[in-house]
Amino acid sequence: MNAKPLRLGVNVDHVATIRNARGGRHPDPVRAAKLAIAAGADGITAHLREDRRHIRDDDMARLKAEIDKPLNFEMAATEEMVRIAIATKPHAVCLVPEKREERTTEGGLDAVGQAAALKPVVHALKHAGIRVSLFIAAAPAQIEMAAELGAPVIEIHTGAWCDALAEGRDTDAAAEWQMIRAGAAQAASFGLEVHAGHGLDYASAETIAALPQIVELNIGHFLIGEAVFEGLAETVKFMRAAMDRGRKKVHAS
């Protein structure tokens, strides 16, 4: 079967988490975004949280100005965020829950319970020319509501599946996987574009990549964590070389 290409959106939130642990500017999430794009990312995802715990307003502005691939702006459906998104004009907005009452038990946005609040937000963002997606569990009622609200895209929350896999809860993982498979098929039958993300690692990304309806995966935490192991040895070697160069200057002076 000839499936559509599968895009990779790299989430750079946790580069900002590390930067913010010290304050200052290093490591810069925009530099990480450019590196990810050079390595093959099809887009960059960043979540401007209401508490600004990782990505900050000027990170989002710089991402929009400095990267040459689509920017996926994750945000809560609040007035403040809608204002910032419309001013930033990202390629896409993914509406995500931040507060307990905004989410389902699976952790996705409760599109059914929050429909009245979401409707004007989806409308305003679409009116501004921004592609809107809803980050929801692959539950039939949530998918139906996403379509009813006029969101052209859903992102299936894979967190419960990935947690079950990681914890070796095979029965739960199998049930979550069936829900994801069925949800992807249902959403595509409604004409929705289907993305997925949260908690994905190499193995789960490989598994979910086999679902033909899914056209984008957004992955952050695992990539940034794994980059420590892929990159630490090289970085220590650079530091060793810098120290050795400096030390030689003792003899030269």
Active site residues: 47, 74, 198
Taking CB under 6 A as the criterion, the residue among 30, 67, 75, 96 binding ligand PXP is 96
Query: SS3 of 175, please?
Result: helix
Give the whole-angstrom CA distance, residue 131 versus residue 144. 18
CA angle 235, 238, 242 (to 5 degrees): 140
User: Least CB distance from residue 241 to ligand PXP, whole Å?
Assistant: 33
CA angle 148, 210, 32 (to 5 degrees): 85
Taking CB under 6 A as the criterion, the residue among 6, 10, 12, 13 binding ligand PXP is 13
User: Least CB distance from residue 26 to ligand PXP, whole Å?
Assistant: 21
Taking CB under 6 A as the criterion, the residue among 16, 63, 94, 132 binding ligand PXP is 94
Taking CB under 6 A as the criterion, the residue among 73, 135, 161, 177 binding ligand PXP is 135
For residue 59, CA distances in Å to 10, 44, 47, 92 come to 15, 12, 10, 16
User: Least CB distance from residue 16 to ligand PXP, whole Å?
Assistant: 11
In the complex with ligand PXP, which residue's Cβ is closer, 207 or 222? 222
| Residue 85 contacts ligand PXP per CB under 6 A | no
User: Least CB distance from residue 219 to ligand PXP, whole Å?
Assistant: 4
In the complex with ligand PXP, which residue's Cβ is closer, 67 or 96? 96
* Binding mask of the shown chain, residues 216 to 235, with x at each position contacting ligand PXP by CB under 6 A: --xxxxx-------------
Q: Which long-range contacts (CB under 8 A, 24 or more apart) does 27-31 make?
A: 29/55, 29/59, 29/63, 30/59, 30/62, 30/63, 30/66, 30/67
* Residue whose C-alpha is closest to residue 84's, from 115, 63, 108: 63
Give the whole-angstrom CA distance, residue 92 versus residue 63. 13
Question: Residue 43 pairs with which residues in a beta bridge?
Answer: 9
Taking CB under 6 A as the criterion, the residue among 6, 11, 122, 211 binding ligand PXP is 11
Query: SS3 of 71, please?
Result: strand
Residues 147-206 that bind ligand PXP (CB under 6 A): 155, 197-200
Residues that bind ligand PXP (CB under 6 A): 11, 13, 47, 74, 94, 96, 135, 155, 197-200, 218-222
